[in-house]
Chain A
């Protein structure tokens, strides 16, 4: 690589970083602006928007609601996804590829289509729009991710681990819970956090499947319709920090768990 191309490459890279972060920085800055009007110049700073968020009962309720949905759908996805991976991974049967493709399909179907179809399906099953419907919707969407990650991890587990457990007196179930499941731990943590973020972030499914109680993205959307306000910036900043911290922590702990195993 010549010197010129190297300089060009790094300039392009930094331009990309700026493009990535300037909007975020702007959003964070506006959350501290002491004015209802979003935009420059910023003449005075304040933390009142943030205080407002923490005192706003509706925001807090919605946040808790979104968290509850994220946690429940993640737990469900982990159980079902692991179940799928464990039974589909090592099995050999005709049409396995088709079953596998069907398993992965919900991950690639456009959100709006799956949201509408799930809404219709939920009504058919007489599931009221609301928390349960959203949880089920998110679970359908997230199971493929869990299944894929767990299957990948499972394929690296030496067969002898399970055999050793069986040899030492464990039946298939005990061997799974005491040997295979701990081996899957890094995959489950990683997939779990990914699912939490996907669920927490989801707007389309929550919008179509939700009842009167909005999730956080739906609430932000509703607040936007009555005009942009620095309070939205404050909420968004808090969400940004929480998700970034969670994501980075997950990445780090996964790397540590993966080492040497």
Chain B
């Protein structure tokens, strides 16, 4: 998807320290034009610092930031073609909605006619027509968010930074705005650099997610990549729910890695690394990747188990399944509400696609 596009931003091994803390550690990353890239991670992982360095509010201690072929590392925010949607929106309270949107255009020296035309366009585009003369305090949270977006889009930046802009919205509105935001990104073709700690937001909107932890990139890839093929324990646990299985590598063939888990043979795969036989490893298996059967299935990965608890959650049911000889060998699984009938008895078989059992590079 991002194959033929041009690089719009190159973060060239940037490092930022605050005192003794290393906020961002030799981050090396390219962002493609028109991409919706999300930096995801817990607070303090360096994602916001990265965003602020792109915006020009922090200067990296080492490395370069190249924007559209130009080195902008030391440039102040007002001298780079990057605009930002702030977490608290930062709308100017003494200006109307239109004046807020026009602010960046005025400073770019556009004529009054151009400013009015562009402001009108953006008001229409973001369904704010009729709100131009209101002040920010007369708007709802969702409307303020759209004004902030319109204001940042107005000067036609090469890169749009979004700093957790959905954090202040309630859950229902947030889900709606996620869809809208993605739609706006597609229609404008702008490069969006989105920062969040919310995995749902990241999965819903992004073309690519960069998971950060302690100033470094844990993994970068499409939402599907990260969800189904996490490389590290951190990513596996941070995004979605998962079974983490500790075992030993028994061997590998062309398609799969076989690990020994509590005396059972599990077939799985690994991304980006190749664990050697005898090596202790940790593997991740998503709850919904576990298939449950009343009878023994034909699949290669099949083990018998016993249901020890059921939690009905509406659209699905969460099962705790004890497998093998030992008491602590538990596997959690989600099954569809419809499957509940066929799994009424305690005994069952579980199986999984071996591409869904991911041997991680760490955690063992």
Contact = CB atoms under 8 A, between A and B. Distances in A.
Real binding pair: yes
Interface of A: 158, 160-161, 163-171, 174, 178-179, 182-183, 185, 260-261
Q: Which 3 A-B residue pairs are closest in the complex by CB-CB distance?
A: A168-B104, A169-B107, A160-B90
B137 A166 contact: no
Nearest to A259: B137
Given A158-B88, A260-B137, A167 B94 contact: no
Contacts of A158: 88, 90
A185 B151 CA distance: 24
B103 A165 contact: yes
Nearest to B103: A168
A178 B103 CA distance: 10
Contacts of B93: 183, 260-261
B210 to A, nearest CB: 22
Question: Does more than half of chain A's interface fall in helix, strand or loop, or is it mixed?
Answer: helix
A164 B108 contact: no
Contact of A163 (B82, B86, B137): B86
A253 to B, nearest CB: 14
B275 interface: no
B57 interface: yes
Nearest to B154: A168
Contacts of A183: 93-94
Contact of A161 (B55, B57, B78, B90): B90
Contacts of A174: 107
Contact of A166 (B76, B151, B152): B76
B88 A167 contact: no
A70 B207 CA distance: 63
Nearest to B80: A167
19 contacts: A158-B88, A163-B57, A163-B84, A163-B86, A166-B77, A168-B78, A168-B107, A168-B155, A169-B104, A169-B108, A169-B155, A170-B78, A171-B76, A174-B107, A179-B92, A182-B94, A183-B94, A185-B94, A261-B137
B148 to A, nearest CB: 8
A102 to B, nearest CB: 30
B332 to A, nearest CB: 42
A144 to B, nearest CB: 27
Interface string B108-131: 100000000000000000000000
Contacts of B84: 163-164, 167
Contacts of A168: 78, 83, 103-104, 107, 151-152, 155
Interface string B82-102: 111011101111100000000
Interface string B151-168: 110010000000000000
Contacts of B55: 163, 167
Contacts of B91: 164
B78 A169 contact: yes
Contact of B78 (A166, A178, A260): A166
Interface string B135-153: 0010000000000000110
A164 B155 contact: no
B87 A160 contact: yes
A39 B312 CA distance: 91
A163 B155 contact: no
Contact of B90 (A163, A169, A170, A171): A163
A160 B84 CA distance: 10
B94 A163 contact: no
A182 B91 CA distance: 13
A164 B52 CA distance: 12
A167 B107 contact: no
A158 B104 CA distance: 19
A148 B327 CA distance: 68
Nearest to A257: B94
B130 to A, nearest CB: 21
Given A169-B104, A169-B155, A183-B94, A164 B86 contact: yes
B92 A167 contact: no
A185 B93 CA distance: 12
A227 B133 CA distance: 61
Contact of A167 (B83, B87, B108, B137): B83
Contacts of B152: 167-168
Contacts of B87: 160
A177 B268 CA distance: 62
Nearest to B92: A179
A166 B152 CA distance: 12
A164 B57 contact: no
Contacts of B107: 168-170, 174
B196 to A, nearest CB: 17
A127 to B, nearest CB: 39
A183 B92 CA distance: 9
Interface string B54-90: 0111000000000000000000111000111011101
Q: Which of A169, A171, A178, A261 has the most CB atoms of chain B within a 10 A radius of its CB? A: A169
Contacts of B76: 166, 171
